[in-house]
């Protein structure tokens, strides 16, 4: 638990501290199996009712209290709490891991820190395991105290564990969120504890040998794994599960480690660990919305975590777990479900009825400072003047075959323009519409803007995402050639894409491969265009705001956030370092005369610390996906104009 909290305070202090949850899974599997050992039941119904009654009395009261209180509190400071509240609703029914997976949430992304219920994914995994395990226990004979029940359960669970481990290792390489959040890919960890309990017999020579290992050394090995860098997550996960099982095996009276783990204060932390797990994240997540997390706030935040956890354990968790909710056991299950449904209804109402918003902050305008509207200059009735956005964008593969006409997608007069600019790209191209006012109004250019959501920067880079893969191919194979065919000598093709995928935190062979594909694709496009005298420009320089996934309202200055917003971006030096390889590719192409770089980095990161705000205080982004705001586009306009009007 301590490791998890340290990691959640600051990932740099304990990079793999999140593995404390994996340690808990092993212990949980061990404890659940031991709780069923020797427990007699009249029949299968009696066995199931008893099992689920104990689980509900153990988990539901503290969870319901936590979800209700923090769900209401987050509404005060989050103007768009829907994601958090829906996660909270799902957590009440053991489904938050599936909801987070559906939203393609990356547990290690910065945005997860702002969802006050992200951490409940592990409860979902555990509760889904509880749906399976009692059936395994009963039908193998273990729950019926059959002679060979323990052996049968061992082999069935062992087989499932091997399959689960293989799935975890394989899926992690292709779909990390699925491997992280799904119960089937986590079952091997819970089963490790189960298998260990079933193996603890005097006749087991292997475990008897492990029992002689110094537990303090094993404890040190577990701690060492917690410092392993995140890129070795799979190896670290397997290691910590194995080491936890070894530690349980060799932990024995008379050793220093046994004395440590049985110390009254350590035991008490273990007793309140469930409530502490719930509340520690609530405190940290709310802190990020309000005062932030700083070295001087840590003592107060830890104190608040402990206070809330102890209160929950003493006055809610313990008395309700020990009390008889009803003379009829199965009714306790109904009471638990009723409590969960009641709180879910409260959160659902807060999601569905905007007039009940509890938000106490301000909602800033995203209109740019002093920007003139192109639509005011070119009235609707004047031909070729209005950019009809909906007709110029492919949103997904369902729109393959859609006709995109220059007449619908051009700012200015395409036929009589001094020069034409053809803007191509993904959703970022459309977001820069307001950057071309002066080019059209003052320079007599026409600017045609089209977009395909999720489109790759060039045709040579395949889009592997199912919903965008076909539209990406259609855009580059059919739409783009048709548009470019109407350009003439001296015109421009201007590529605007989110290029963050080429500047990841950690360089990999796949990154290098895609960079090479980008270089080859840009060179091929440049050669093709140059045969007709058409020039190529590429937008470069938007920092990594997409990683923070902050709503613009969250990024704005608020009275309840005196020490800054929870929207955290890298420093300028870090951003420049990360884009260095991409920069080398683009610079090389520019030096060879293949393209011109339009670098707007200093617009979106004007100070040493990149933020969501421009120097004038206006927001630079319009949404949580780092699309530029009107102000961001306006501030980029002079840089874009300088390149596109150059000879």
* Whole-number pLDDT of residue 203: 63
The most confident of 99-103, 342-346, 381-385, 457-461, by mean pLDDT: 342-346
* Whole-number pLDDT of residue 382: 33
* Whole-number pLDDT of residue 365: 64
Question: Quick check: 276 and 269 in contact, CB under 8 A?
Answer: yes
Q: What secondary structure does DSSP assign to 56-85, as a single string?
A: HHHHHHHHHHHHHHHHHHHHHH-S-THHHH
* Whole-number pLDDT of residue 317: 93
Over range 47-56, report the average pLDDT. Answer: 90
Report how far residue 621's alpha carbon sits from residue 550's, in angstroms, rounded to the nearest whole number.
Answer: 9
Q: Is the pLDDT of residue 105 over 70?
A: no
CA distances from 518 to 462, 577, 584, 630 (A): 10, 19, 12, 28
Q: What is the DSSP letter of 371?
A: P
pLDDT above 90 covers what percent of the chain? 43
Q: What is the pTM of this model?
A: 0.76
Q: Is the pLDDT of residue 619 over 90?
A: no
Report how far residue 56's alpha carbon sits from residue 58's, in angstroms, rounded to the nearest whole number.
Answer: 5
Over range 316-327, report the average pLDDT. Answer: 87
Q: Which two tokens stand for residue 299?
A: 């003592």
* Whole-number pLDDT of residue 117: 94
Residue whose tokens read 């307001």? 434
- Residue with more model confidence, 189 or 16: 189
Q: What is the pLDDT of residues 482-492, one digit of tens each?
A: 999 999 999 99
Q: Among 145, 242, 150, which residue's Cα sits nearest to residue 203?
A: 150
* Whole-number pLDDT of residue 372: 37
H helix or E strand, kind and range, residue 471: helix 466-474
Over range 594-599, report the average pLDDT. Answer: 94
CA distances from 215 to 26, 250, 360, 538 (A): 17, 6, 52, 59
pLDDT above 70 covers what percent of the chain? 93
Burial class (CB in 10 A: 0-12, 13-18, 19+), 506: exposed
Q: Which two tokens stand for residue 101?
A: 């997976």
Residue whose tokens read 């002066």? 438
Q: Is the pLDDT of residue 533 over 90?
A: yes
* Whole-number pLDDT of residue 569: 81
H helix or E strand, kind and range, residue 229: none
- Residue with more model confidence, 467 or 408: 408
Residue 7's pLDDT band (cuts 50, 70, 90):
confident
Question: Quick check: 85 and 350 in contact, CB under 8 A?
Answer: yes
Question: Quick check: 261 and 244 in contact, CB under 8 A?
Answer: no
H helix or E strand, kind and range, residue 149: helix 149-174
**Which phi and psi (to 5°) does residue 413 adopt?**
-105, 105
Question: Quick check: 561 and 78 in contact, CB under 8 A?
Answer: no
Q: Is the pLDDT of residue 257 over 70?
A: yes
Q: What is the pLDDT of residues 26-45, one digit of tens each?
A: 999 999 999 888 777 778 88
Q: What is the pLDDT of residues 343-399, one digit of tens each?
A: 999 999 998 887 778 888 877 766 544 433 333 333 323 333 445 567 888 887 788
CA distances from 591 to 83, 539, 583, 588 (A): 46, 16, 12, 5
Average pLDDT value for the chain? 86
Over range 7-26, report the average pLDDT. Answer: 85
Question: Quick check: 139 and 155 in contact, CB under 8 A?
Answer: no
CA distances from 529 to 242, 301, 404, 479, 525 (A): 58, 59, 21, 16, 6
Q: Is the pLDDT of residue 600 over 90?
A: yes
Residue 95's pLDDT band (cuts 50, 70, 90):
very high
Residue 209's pLDDT band (cuts 50, 70, 90):
confident
* Whole-number pLDDT of residue 489: 94
Q: Is the pLDDT of residue 88 over 70?
A: yes
- CB environment 101-114: b (16+ within 10 A), e (fewer): beeebeeeebbbbb
All structural domains of the chain with their residue ranges: 2-356, 374-544+572-607+637-644
- Residue with more model confidence, 107 or 266: 266
* Whole-number pLDDT of residue 107: 53
* Whole-number pLDDT of residue 469: 79
Over range 9-21, report the average pLDDT. Answer: 83
Over range 451-456, report the average pLDDT. Answer: 84
Q: Which fold has domain 374-544+572-607+637-644?
A: Rossmann fold (3.40.50)
Q: Is the pLDDT of residue 110 over 80?
A: no
CA distances from 160 to 94, 181, 244, 262 (A): 21, 17, 20, 33
Q: Is the pLDDT of residue 71 over 60?
A: yes
* Whole-number pLDDT of residue 383: 31
**Which phi and psi (to 5°) does residue 564 adopt?**
110, 165
Q: Is the pLDDT of residue 573 over 80?
A: yes
* Whole-number pLDDT of residue 109: 58
**Which phi and psi (to 5°) does residue 133 adopt?**
-60, -45
Q: Which two tokens stand for residue 172?
A: 């992690």
Over range 427-435, report the average pLDDT. Answer: 87
Q: Is the pLDDT of residue 143 over 70?
A: yes
CA distances from 44 to 147, 149, 383 (A): 17, 15, 76
């Amino acid at each position: 638990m301590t490791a998890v909290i340290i990691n959640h305070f600051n990932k740099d202090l304990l990079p793999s501290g999140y593995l404390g949850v994996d340690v808990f899974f092993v212990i949980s599997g061990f404890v659940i199996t031991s709780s069923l050992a020797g427990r007699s039941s009249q029949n299968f119904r009696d066995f199931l009712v008893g099992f689920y009654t104990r689980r509900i009395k153990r988990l539901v009261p503290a969870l319901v209290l936590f979800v209700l209180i923090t769900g209401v509190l987050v509404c005060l400071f989050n103007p768009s709490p829907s994601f958090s509240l829906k996660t909270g609703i799902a957590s009440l029914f053991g489904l938050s891991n599936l909801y987070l997976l559906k939203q393609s949430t990356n547990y290690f992304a910065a945005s997860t820190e702002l969802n006050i219920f992200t951490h409940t994914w592990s409860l979902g995994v555990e509760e889904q395991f509880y749906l399976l395990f009692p059936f395994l226990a009963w039908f193998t004979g273990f729950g019926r105290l059959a002679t060979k029940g323990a052996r049968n359960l061992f082999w069935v669970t062992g087989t499932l564990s091997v399959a689960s481990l293989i799935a975890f290792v394989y899926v992690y390489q292709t779909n990390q969120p699925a491997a992280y959040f799904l119960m089937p890919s986590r079952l091997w960890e819970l089963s490790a504890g189960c298998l260990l309990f079933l193996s603890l017999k005097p006749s087991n020579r292997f475990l008897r040998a492990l029992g002689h290992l110094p537990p303090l050394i094993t404890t040190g090995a577990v701690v060492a794994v917690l410092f392993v860098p995140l890129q070795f997550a799979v190896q670290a996960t397997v290691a910590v599960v194995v080491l936890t099982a070894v530690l349980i095996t060799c932990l024995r009276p008379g050793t220093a480690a046994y004395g440590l783990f049985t110390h009254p204060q350590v035991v008490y932390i273990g007793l309140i660990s469930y409530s502490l797990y719930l509340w520690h994240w609530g405190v940290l997540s709310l802190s990020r919305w309000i005062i932030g997390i700083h070295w001087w706030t840590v003592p107060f935040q830890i104190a608040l975590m402990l206070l809330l956890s102890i209160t929950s354990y003493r006055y809610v968790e313990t008395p309700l777990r020990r009390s008889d909710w009803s003379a009829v056991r199965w009714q306790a299950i109904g009471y638990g479900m009723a409590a969960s449904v009641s709180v879910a209804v409260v959160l659902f109402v807060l999601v569905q009825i905007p007039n009940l918003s509890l938000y106490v902050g301000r909602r800033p305008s995203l209109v740019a400072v002093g920007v003139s509207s192109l639509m005011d200059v070119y009235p609707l009735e004047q031909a070729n003047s209005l950019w009809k956005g909906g007709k110029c964008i492919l949103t997904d593969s369902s729109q393959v075959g859609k006709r995109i006409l220059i007449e619908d997608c051009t700012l200015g007069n395409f036929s009589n323009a001094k020069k034409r600019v053809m803007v191509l790209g993904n959703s970022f191209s459309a977001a820069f519409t307001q950057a071309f006012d002066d080019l059209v109004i003052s320079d007599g250019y026409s600017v045609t803007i089209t977009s395909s959501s999720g489109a790759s920067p060039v045709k040579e880079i395949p889009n592997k995402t199912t919903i965008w893969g076909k539209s990406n191919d259609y855009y580059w194979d059919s739409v783009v050639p048709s548009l470019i065919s109407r350009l003439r000598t001296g015109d421009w093709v201007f590529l605007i894409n989110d290029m963050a995928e080429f500047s990841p935190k950690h360089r990999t062979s796949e990154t290098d491969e895609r960079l090479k594909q980008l270089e080859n694709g840009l060179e091929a496009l440049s050669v093709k265009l140059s045969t007709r005298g058409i020039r190529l420009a590429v937008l470069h320089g938007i920092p990594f705001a997409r990683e923070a996934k902050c709503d613009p309202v969250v990024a704005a200055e608020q009275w309840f956030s005196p020490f800054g917003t929870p929207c955290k971006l890298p420093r300028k030096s870090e951003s420049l370092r990360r884009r260095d390889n991409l920069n080398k590719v683009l610079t090389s192409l520019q030096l060879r005369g293949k393209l011109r770089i339009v670098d707007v980095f200093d617009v979106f990161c004007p100070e040493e610390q990149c933020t969501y705000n421009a120097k004038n205080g206006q927001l630079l982004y319009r949404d949580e996906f780092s699309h530029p705001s009107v102000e961001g586009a306006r501030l980029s306009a002079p840089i874009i104009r300088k390149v596109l009007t150059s000879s």
